[in-house]
Amino acid sequence: MEFSQPVFSTLSEFMQYIAALPDDGDGRVPPLSELSQILGISVATLREQLEVARMMGVVEVKPKAGIHKLSYSFKPAVMTSLTYALASESTPFEQYANLRKHLEAAYFLEAVQKLTYEEKHDLETIVERSEEKLRRSPVVIPTTEHRDFHLSIYRKLNNPYVFGLLESYWELYKAAGFEIYPDMEYVNRIWQYHRKTVDLINARQYELAYQALMEHMELIAQREKKVPRQSFE
């Protein structure tokens, strides 16, 4: 699919320059003084455009190392927009949680069939580590493992848009206070579903694994917790 030039003209001069750089692993960007000469705009304007690009996750700026182009990620742009929406209370977290649910449902069967033996083993390891934490006294809540379990299923899709949306969900999940679980019965039920899902994936019973995942996703609807505004400030 080709786009006409006006589509790209909405990008700043700096962003157009970065977009044209080859993804060869180097990604070095000239100093702003040199770039000013190349693009024919002031250093002050470039600084403003650089800050936008940095917030979008397009480049990173490090002392002495300078400016470098980053591999594309959808997450920074999504997080900027979502954080504002939730801080302004213009849209509730539950709406984004519902989007995440449908997104995981839509891509689950495609994603799990792409998993290698090693990646399935990694899922198994995540579940085993979580079960071990839940057996400890005192119990350790496997919050990181919860995020890793879900994201690991979809990473093999190699779709930055899907993955960026899912990554952003887990950032907001934490910021909204959902990692503070209401009771241990709830936590244990989550990991029972995770165990069932990974066992079915390993058995190549993908439709049943999908059903188990969807049942697990319904648990969040049972949590009566409003998103605190201060979490996003």
Q: Assign residue 96 a region (left: φ > 0; alpha: ψ between -120 and 50; beta: otherwise).
A: alpha
Contacts of 124 (CB under 8 A, 6+ apart): 198, 202
* DSSP, res 59: E
pLDDT over 60 at 14, yes or no? yes
Q: What is the mean pLDDT of residues 147-176?
A: 93
How many CA atoms lie within 13 Å of 94's alpha carbon, on the beta-carbon side?
A: 11
Q: Kindly state the helix (H) or strand (E) to which residue 152 belongs, with its residue range.
A: helix 143-154
Q: What angle do CA 142, 218, 162 make, to 5 degrees?
A: 75
Is it the case that residue 228 has pLDDT exceeding 60?
Answer: no
Binned at pLDDT 50, 70 and 90, residue 223 comes out as low
Residue 96 dihedral angles phi and psi, to the nearest 5°: -70, -35
pLDDT of amino acid 222: 65
CA–CA dist 224, 112 (Å, integer): 31
Strand 59-62 and strand 28-29: pairing?
A: unpaired
pLDDT tens-place string over residues 51-64? 999 999 999 998 88
Q: What local confidence, expressed as pLDDT, does residue 24 receive?
A: 64
Shortest CA distance to 205 belongs to which of 213, 188, 107?
Answer: 213
Q: Under CATH, which number does the domain 5-69 receive?
A: 1.10.10.10
CA distance 37 to 40: 5
What confidence tier does 182 reach under pLDDT thresholds 50, 70, 90? low
**How is domain 92-232 classified at the CATH fold level?**
Four Helix Bundle (Hemerythrin (Met), subunit A) (1.20.120)
* Average pLDDT of every residue of the chain: 87
Mean pLDDT comparison of 19-33, 169-183, 188-202, highest-scoring range: 188-202
User: Mean pLDDT across the stretch 150-165?
Assistant: 96
- Alpha-carbon distance of 60 to 52, in angstroms, equals 11
Ranges of each domain in the chain: 5-69, 92-232
For residue 229, is pLDDT > 70?
no
46 token code pair: 């470039």
Query: Token pair for residue 208?
Result: 């049943």
* pLDDT reading at 227 higher than 50: no
Task: Please determine whether the domains at 5-69 and 92-232 fall in the same fold group of CATH.
Answer: no
Q: Could you read off the pLDDT of 185-201 as tens digits, one per residue?
A: 889 999 999 999 999 99
Q: What is the pTM of this model?
A: 0.84
CB atoms within 10 A of CB 3: 7
